[in-house]
Amino acid sequence: MKKPLPDPSRINFRLLHYFRVVAEEMNFTQAAQRLNMSQPPLSKHIKELESQLGVELFKRTTRSMALTQAGRTLFHNVETLLDQAGNALNQVQQLGRGEAGHMVIGMVGTSVWGGLIPALKRFTGQEEKVTWTLNEQTPSQQIVSLQKRHIDIGVWREAKQQALPGLACQLLAREKISVVLPTGHPLATGEEIPLQALEHDKFIVLPPNEASLGLYLHNLCLQHGFAPDIVHQVNEPQTLMALVAEGFGITLLPDSYGRIPWPGVRFCPLQAALRRICMRSTTPKVPHRW
């Protein structure tokens, strides 16, 4: 009848550490001194380990001791076991202190022009043991992902900061608003443009439910006495820019979009010093990854 296999849950790392030291010293007295303990308890711990494993680990005589075949097998593996356990515990402690881990960052694609990438570069230099991946999502998708804890941080733009239940929000930056015109437009001089001067222009916008700038544009125009003539609504900034370049309309965008050399368009500042759009970071109120 086969002996039952030993229960690994009963074998703690302390017993394995004692075994390793004894195997390295091949002398209980010297091993006990190295462990700052007396010899009898050490001998008892080794016998306990042998009992739990169901094998002899050492051949003992009055003058010498040696490892058995089982002892040699355990000794060849115990250092790796203890090192892996130590590394795992260290990683857990680093996670608890926020010094290591992995973040999944939700972001709108255009946030890379608003300073997100330089911020991540600085963060990586400060927290080398924290890794991250980017997950491009619309603002509404990010909110759902945050609530379901599929992402750790969400980054998007909005015209006005709004309270989001269960989420903690932080303002990252404020951006000025620019008027984006085809290069042949009479106002495409690079000078500031008052909003009223755009009353008779046609506008191209991003979806209002995915980019609060569209709703902001509409309300801003109403405050200045006219309703914007929105002729096209597109999902991607690239499409928007292409339509503007071909003269199908104009748009309002954060000035960081102008860092990309879009062909056929001109960015001009909106004449209103306080016109800003917010770039903000949002996380679950109770962090769960790092």
Q: Where are the domains of the chain?
A: 8-96, 101-290
Confidence of residue 160 (pLDDT cuts 50, 70, 90): low
Can you list the alpha helix ranges (DSSP code H) found in the chain?
Answer: 13-25, 28-34, 39-53, 69-96, 116-126, 139-147, 212-223, 237-245
**pLDDT score for 207:** 78
Name the residue with higher pLDDT: 179 or 99: 179
Higher pLDDT, 50 or 11: 50
Q: Which residues contact 281 (CB under 8 A, 6 or more apart)?
A: 153, 154, 155, 169, 170, 172
Please state the rounded mean pLDDT for residues 164-189: 88
Compute the Cα dihedral for 24, 30, 35, 38 and give only its sign.
Answer: positive
pLDDT at 99 over 90: no
List of residues 6+ apart from 137 with CB closer than 8 A: 106, 107, 108, 145, 151, 154
Q: What is the pLDDT of residue 289?
A: 39
Q: What is the mean pLDDT of residues 258-272?
A: 90
Mean pLDDT, to the nearest integer, of 55-73?
Answer: 89
Question: pLDDT band at 148, cuts 50/70/90?
Answer: confident
Mean pLDDT of the region 159-182: 82
Q: Is pLDDT above 70 for 231?
A: yes
CB 104 within 8 A of CB 141: no
Segment 71-75 shows an average pLDDT of 91
What is the model's pLDDT at position 55? 92
- With a cut of 80, say whether residue 181 has pLDDT above it: yes
Q: What does the pLDDT read at residue 287? A: 45
Q: What is the residue-averaged pLDDT of the chain?
A: 82
| pLDDT (0 to 100) of residue 286 | 46
* Residue 3 predicted with pLDDT over 60: no
pLDDT > 90 in the chain, percent = 36
pLDDT of residue 221: 86
Topology classification of domain 8-96: Arc Repressor Mutant, subunit A (1.10.10)
Residue 213, pLDDT above cutoff 50: yes
Predicted confidence at residue 290, as pLDDT, reads 41
Q: What is the pLDDT of residue 118?
A: 83
The Cα 78–Cα 277 span in angstroms is 59
Between 216 and 37, name the one with better pLDDT.
Answer: 37
Mean pLDDT to the nearest integer, 43-67 = 89
Q: What's the pLDDT band for 212 if we cut at 50, 70, 90?
A: low
Tokens of 222: 């109403």
Class of domain 101-290: alpha beta
Q: What's the confidence (pLDDT) of residue 98?
A: 60
Q: How confident is the model at residue 278 (pLDDT cuts 50, 70, 90)?
A: low
Judged against a pLDDT cut of 90, whether residue 188 lies above it is answered with yes
Global pTM reads 0.57
